[in-house]
Structure 1
Amino acid sequence: MKIAVIPARGGSKRISGKNIKTFAGKPLIAYSLAAANASGLFDDIVVSTDSDDIAQVARDYGATQIIKRPESLSNDIVGTFPVVQHAIETYQQSVQQVEHVCCIYATAPFLQAQKLIEGYQRLSQATDKHFAFSVTTFPFPIQRAIRLKGEGVEPLDHSQMTKRSQDLEECYHDAGQFYWGTTQAYLSNQPMFAPHSIPVVLPRHLVQDIDTPEDWERAELMYRAYVAG
């Protein structure tokens, strides 16, 4: 038994109504729902929300279960894990037991069904792994990061500044699209960023956080150029 859990809170301080705001012609959450459905992996696609409006849009675009989250899990300081855990526990109490869960962010218009499939296949075939999630590379060597100091700047690590780019280790970051895990790993609070997690590498042009109006504009331009175009 496999389910997707899409957390979609109603409140958003920086982009009002972000999860169902129109993005390139459709509500933003519709893209995550479409990819989940296209993968053919899930017995149910669950949306966890505190909003009736989001619940209705989610149903219209392919969600098969809505879980109404309590007020205690609906503020902007609650992390993703407690929301997913609540969804798993509620689903198992009312429907049936689950073996694998994929948390999919509602703000992932570049999500591809094939990457969801890859993540599940790699996790299900591994004997010593608990999670599989999307990552991508940094566009610039993070070893050469600088900080602003007064009216000037300074390197975070002076020893790295004279090294050639090709001599620096390539580094990755969470791509913020999907997080496969075993039910046991989610419910027992196993850490995500650990050796027992499998990285599913995405190209940078298919990754964009959407937290600010500037992010939104950039993401729409990227979507029209790389996906819709």
Structure 2
Amino acid sequence: MDKNRFWMIGSILIMIVVLVGGTILGIQPQLAAAAAANAQRDTVATANAGQAAVLDQLKQDFTGLESLKSELAPLNASVPSETGMAAFFKQLDALAGSTQVTLKGITVADPAPYVPVVAPEAVAAPATETDSSASPAPTAVPEPGTPSLGTPPVTNSKITTENFASMDITVTVKGSYVNTLQFVNGLQTGARLFLVSGLTSAHGAGDEAAAAPDDVTATISGLVYVLVPSGQEVAPVE
């Protein structure tokens, strides 16, 4: 083999080595970087798609926000997060005017923690000896509409002594018996939730000689409720 051919073969080998080395040292890192960039781009695209879905959901929720506010307003008026006696007194005054009765007095107790309703325990009937030969006694059938003594009260685990309070209120009005009943009905169906627990009435107009002879003085007792914000206490009535 002559010297020229030797150098030619050597040059070819060197070029192959340089080409392979360049691929390993130069092109391969670029390919890895490109693959990493593609993977990162896919990750960002997936994250953007998720954010777009969240944004679409927020847009849908915002569309119904006004409707939710309109539904929340009467609930806030029914059970406010404060005593709200000023608004309640206005409600009573307007109700008295519409039912043509006269407000004689209002007493309000300070808020007290809500007491959950507890279902009474069932009392088992005492066992009695029976004669097997005797005919069994007929089972009493309750009249239609008679409430079952074992019916449990309606409760809600979300209503507790920490987040709910009640206030005892007594309202005294004077007017005809029919108008007084209309006042009581309006009191139970008004904007502020009012649970009537007692009603007494007496004929007579007190010390007002000009009152109608069929007037009665009625005293209505009941409860209103207050939603207690988390970590707070309801201020006493002033």
TM-score (norm: length of structure 2): 0.19
Structure ranking higher in strand proportion = 1
Structure ranking higher in helix proportion = 2
Q: Which of 1 and 2 has greater Rg?
A: 2
